Amino acid sequence: MKKALILSMLLLPVLLLASVAEAEHAYIGTKNCKKCHIKQWKSWSETKMANAFETLKPGVVAERKTELGLEPDKDYTTDAECVRCHVTGYGKEGGFVNIDETPDLANVGCEMCHGAGGGYTQDGYMTLKNKEYKRAELIKVGLIHPVGEAVCVECHNEQVPIPDYTFDYEAMKAEGIHENIPLKYNHD
């Protein structure tokens, strides 16, 4: 009995960490984020990121593709080099696979910058049932991923097929990608 108790005490933290890690990889799509973050979703939905996958389709933004030396009538929706930055979670566990299997992950959604949403929506965290969640608690368990330059340059880098492309993180940060609301809890 004593051995079983000790064993369960040793395994409990491992199981808890495993469930958090598993939930972190559960991509839920922007429709789920929208339920609680409507202001941010609305302002994001007016950005190029909200329609990034569409630009990979044949004939869409044809003039711009021609300027960049791309074939305007080519279907880039299955080109891994393009798709990886025009969808959410491509090449990651639980991320975008293709438009038929994972249509809710097409475009550059919330989870591309903030991490997979499954971890956020666990019981006791950021759920409709728990409107009083504490951001500080999400940070403690590793569910909040800092959104900084390192996240942006995963796509905004020298591999972008735009001649003389330079990404100015500070300028983009000042402009913002969606409406921000003040943090309720300090996360220092």
pLDDT tens-digit readout, 92-113: 999 999 999 999 999 999 888 8
Burial 119-129, CB ≥16 within 10 A → b, else e:
bbbbeebbeee
pLDDT digits (tens, 9 = 90+) for 129-175: 666 666 666 655 555 556 788 888 999 988 888 888 888 888 887 77
How many CB atoms lie under 10 A from the CB of residue 177?
19
Neighbour-count burial of 88, counting CB atoms closer than 10 A to its CB (0-12 exposed, 13-18 middle, 19+ buried): buried
pTM value is: 0.74
Q: Please report the pLDDT score of residue 118 as a whole number.
A: 82
pLDDT over 60 (residue 12): no
pLDDT over 50 (residue 35): yes
Share of the chain above pLDDT 70, in %: 69
Mean pLDDT confidence for 34-61: 91
Of 119, 122, 91, 139, whose CA–CA distance to 24 is shortest? 119
Q: Please report the pLDDT score of residue 145 as a whole number.
A: 58
The backbone region for 180, taken as left when phi is positive above 0, alpha when psi lies in -120 to 50, beta otherwise, is: beta
Q: Please report the pLDDT score of residue 94 as a whole number.
A: 92
Going by the DSSP 8-state scheme, the letter that residue 147 receives in this structure is -
Mean pLDDT confidence for 8-27: 47
Going by the DSSP 8-state scheme, the letter that residue 87 receives in this structure is B
Q: How far apart are CA 70 and CA 62, in angstroms?
A: 9
Four-point Cα dihedral 39, 148, 157, 41, nearest 10: -10
Q: Kindly state the tokens that stand for 160.
A: 């972008």
Q: If DSSP codes are grouped into helix, strand and coil, which group holds residue 130?
A: strand
